[in-house]
Amino acid sequence: MSDSPHQHHRIVGYLTAMSVFGSFVGLAVGVGRARGDSLPASYRLEDVALGALATHKFARLLTKDGVTTPLRAPFTEFKGNAGSAEVNEEPRHEPGKHVVGEMLSCPFCVTPWIATGYVATLAISPRLARAWAAVFGIVGGSDFLQQAYGRIRED
C-alpha cells in the first residue's frame, strides 16, 4: 500500500481534521466574544516560553508516552519501545483510522492543536492556561534534568 498523502481516504481525513481544527478555533473565538474577551495585542515572553515547553511536553506525552497508549491504540499499531518510557507506533492503514493515527503518533502534528488551545485559553482564562503550562513546563524541565542526570551517571 502506498503511503502517499494523495490517497483519497487520506485527503478526506486531512480535510476533516482541518475542518475540526477550524471549528475549534471558531468555537474559541465565539466563547471569547460572548464573554467580552479578545486576543491580547501581544504576549508576555514568559507565557510564550512556558507555553512552548509545556506544549512540547504535552505533545510527547500524548503521542509517545507508554501510559497514553490506550488513547492511541484504536488508531495505531505498536512498533517497539523507544526508551525513556516512550513507544514507537504507526497509524493503522484502515480508512477512518489512518489520519487519526497519524495525528496521535506524531508530536509535530498535534502541536498546533495544543498550542492553539493554550493561546485560546490564555485569552479566555489566563490563570487556567498558566496553571496548565506550569504543570507541563515543570514536567518537561524535570524530564530534561532526568535525562541529563542519567547521562552524567553513565560516565
Give the domain ranges of the chain: 8-154
pLDDT at 37: 80
Taking residues 33-46, report their average pLDDT. 89
Please state, as a whole number, how many other Cβ atoms lie within 10 Å of the Cβ of residue 28: 19
**Which amino acid is it at 115?**
A
Nearest to 135 by CA among 51, 59, 45, 49: 51
- Measured in residues, the chain has a length of 155
pTM of the shown model: 0.86
- Beta-bridged to residue 7, according to DSSP, are none
Chain mean pLDDT for the chain? 92
pLDDT at 104: 96
